Structure 1
Amino acid sequence: MDLEAVHFDERGLVPVVVQDARTGEVLTLAYANREALEETLRTRRSTFFSRSRQALWRKGETSGHTQEVVEVLLDCDGDAVVYRVLPQGPACHTGARTCFHRPLLEGPKDLGFVLGQVYATIEERLRTLPEGSYVAKLHRAGLDRILKKIGEEAGEVILAAKNGSPEEVCHEAADLLFHLLLTLKEAGVTLEDLAQTLWERHRPREG
C-alpha cells in the first residue's frame, strides 16, 4: 500500500474498521497513526494507536486475542482503512466477539456470517470433543460416516426440491451445508480456501 495515499487527520490518525475476514462481521472501530499502519503491514498483526495512552496498541499483546491481518483496504477518499482479520478470540475487552454487540435495530444475518459462525463452532467441537456433541459423535464415527451423511442430505435436498416446498428445501439445504462444513474441516479446508477458489473462478474479468 502507498501510505502517501492515506489522509491522516490533524492528530496524525486514520480510523480503522476491523472486519472478520471469514464472516464479514465488523469487530472494532479503532485508530492508527502512520507507525501503527506500517507495523500492521509489516507484521500482519492488528496494530493501532491508543488515543487514551498515546501509544501503539498491539491487539492481543496482553490478552492473547491477536488478529492475523489478511488484507488492508483504503477507502475511495483515503481517509479510512479496513483491516480484514482472522481473530484469535474475542475482539472486545468485555469478552464479546465484537465490540458491536448492542443492537439498536435487529436485522437478518448474512449467509457468510452464519457459515463462519457454524464453522467456528465445528472447530471448537473438534478441538474439545465434548460429550453429547453431534460433531464429536460424527468425528469419532470416521470420515466415511460423515461422507455418507453428505450423500443422504444431498438426496433430501433433491426430494424437497421435487416436492416444490421452499421451506422444506431451506431446511434440507441447511442440513447439507452443515455436513459439508464438517467435511471441509475434516479435510483441512478452510472457508478462506473455499472462498479463494470460488473467487478465482467467478471474479469479474477485465476486457
Structure 2
Amino acid sequence: MPRGARARQPAFGGSTRARVVARANARRAIALGADVAVDETQLNAFLDSLKYDDKGLVCAIAQDVDTGAILMQGFASRDAVAYTLRNRKATFWSRSRSELWCKGETSGNFIGVESVHVDCDRDSLIYLGVPTGPTCHTGAHTCYYKRVDGRDGAAAKVDGGRHAAEEALTTLYELEATIEARRVEAVADDVKPSWTRRLLDNPELLCKKIREEAGELCQTWEENEGKEAATNEMADVLYHSMVMLNKQGVPMSDVLAVLRRRFGTSGVDEKAARPPKKLIDPSK
C-alpha cells in the first residue's frame, strides 16, 4: 500500500490535484439559493448568545462537508450569520470593505451551507458545506494550499510548500492524491513501476485484488482474527477500491456525496430506487 458600515445586499449572479478537484466540483456543484424556513425567535436567541469581539464579529471557518478540507477562515457579524442560516450560503463580514460579503457573489464560487456549528466558547463557527468552485482567489481549492513544515515547506524555502502549492489534505485525500500522482508519472522502461501503477495498467489484476481483499476482510470475521486484522484488511480494500475509482475517473468526493444523500433514507428503499443493472449476455 502506498504511502460592520452599512451592509449592502449580496448580489447573486451567476496543482497536482487540480484536475481531480475540477471534475469533483463540476459534479458536486449545488445551488442553495432558496430560502430555508427559520424560526426567527430561535434564530435571534442564538445570535444573541454568540460572544462577539469588540468589533461585533465572530470567527467563521468554512469546511468542505465531504472532503473535510478547511476552505477558508473569515469573520462574521450578526447579520452575516443570520444571512448564512436563512439562505444557506456562506456569508461573512468584509473588514477591508466594511460590508456584508457572501462568498462567491463576485466569482460565482459559492459555498452552499449544509450545517452550521458553534464552538464551546460560542465565539467561533464552522460553516460546513459544498464549494461550487475554487474557494481561494488564486484558484486553489482552499486558501490553505501551502505546507509550512518539512524540507520544502514555506518556512524553509521561499515560495515553498509540498508540490509547490498543496492544500492540507486529510488522510483519505492524501491517498487519492498519491494514486493520481502515480497515474500521471512517467515510468522509464528500465524502472520497475510502483504497485499502484501496475494496478492502473492492469485492470484484470486490479479487479482480482479487490475481490481478494474483500474476501480477506470477511475472513477476519469468519475466522475471528480480531480487530487489528480487520483494520488492516479494510485498509487494503479501501486502497484498492480507490485505485479502481481513479481508473474510472471518479473522485472520492462524489462517493461521499452519494453517502451523504442517503442519510435518513432506508437502505432497502434507496437500493430499490436505483436503475436496474445491465445483465451480462451469456451468449457473448
Task: Give the TM-score normalised by structure 2.
Answer: 0.48
Residue segments in structure 1 that go unaligned for 5+ positions in a row:
122-145, 202-207
Distance 1:86 1:169, change over 3 A: closer
Within 5 Å, give how 1:71-150 maps onto structure 2.
Answer: 71-105=115-149, 109-114=169-174
Residue segments in structure 2 that go unaligned for 5+ positions in a row:
1-42, 151-161, 163-167, 181-202, 220-228, 267-284
Task: State the alpha-carbon separation in 1 of the partners of residues 137 and 211 from structure 2.
Answer: 45
Alignment partner of 1:28 out of 72, 95, 100: 72
Aligned 8 A contact 1:48 1:58 in 2: yes
Letter of the structure 2 residue corresponding to residue 15 of structure 1: C
Alignment partner of 1:69 out of 113, 131, 136: 113
Task: State the alpha-carbon separation in 1 of the partners of residues 173 and 120 from structure 2.
Answer: 25
Q: What is the RMSD of the two structures over their aligned residues, measured on CA atoms?
A: 4.1
Letter of the structure 2 residue corresponding to residue 157 of structure 1: E
- Could you tell me which residue of structure 2 aligns to residue 157 of structure 1? 213
Letter of the structure 1 residue corresponding to residue 170 of structure 2: D
Letter of the structure 2 residue corresponding to residue 154 of structure 1: I
Distance 1:73 1:4, change over 3 A: same
**Deviations, residues 23-56 of structure 1 (Å, cap 9, x unaligned):** 1111111011011110000010011110000001
Aligned 8 A contact 1:45 1:59 in 2: yes
Distance 1:150 1:102, change over 3 A: closer
Alignment partner of 2:257 out of 188, 192, 199: 192
How big is the shift at 1:157? 1.6
Q: Which moved more, 1:103-112 or 1:50-59?
A: 103-112
Which structure has the higher relative contact order (CA within 8 Å, separation 6+)? 2
Percent of residue pairs identical = 32
Distance 1:56 1:169, change over 3 A: closer
Q: Secondary structure at the match of 1:3?
A: helix
How big is the shift at 1:180? 6.1
How big is the shift at 1:158? 4.9
Letter of the structure 2 residue corresponding to residue 155 of structure 1: R
2:47 is the counterpart of 1:3: yes
Task: State the alpha-carbon separation in 1 of the partners of residues 85 and 176 from structure 2.
Answer: 25
Q: Secondary structure at the match of 1:77?
A: coil
Task: State the alpha-carbon separation in 1 of the partners of residues 70 and 119 from structure 2.
Answer: 16
**Deviations, residues 80-113 of structure 1 (Å, cap 9, x unaligned):** 1110110011111111111111211269943344
Distance 1:64 1:7, change over 3 A: same
How big is the shift at 1:175? 2.3
Letter of the structure 2 residue corresponding to residue 42 of structure 1: R
Distance 1:42 1:169, change over 3 A: closer
Alignment partner of 1:41 out of 77, 85, 93: 85
Q: Tell me the number of residue pairs that the alignment of Structure 1 and Structure 2 aligns.
A: 170
Aligned 8 A contact 2:89 2:103 in 1: yes
More strand by share: 1
Letter of the structure 2 residue corresponding to residue 40 of structure 1: T
Letter of the structure 2 residue corresponding to residue 191 of structure 1: L
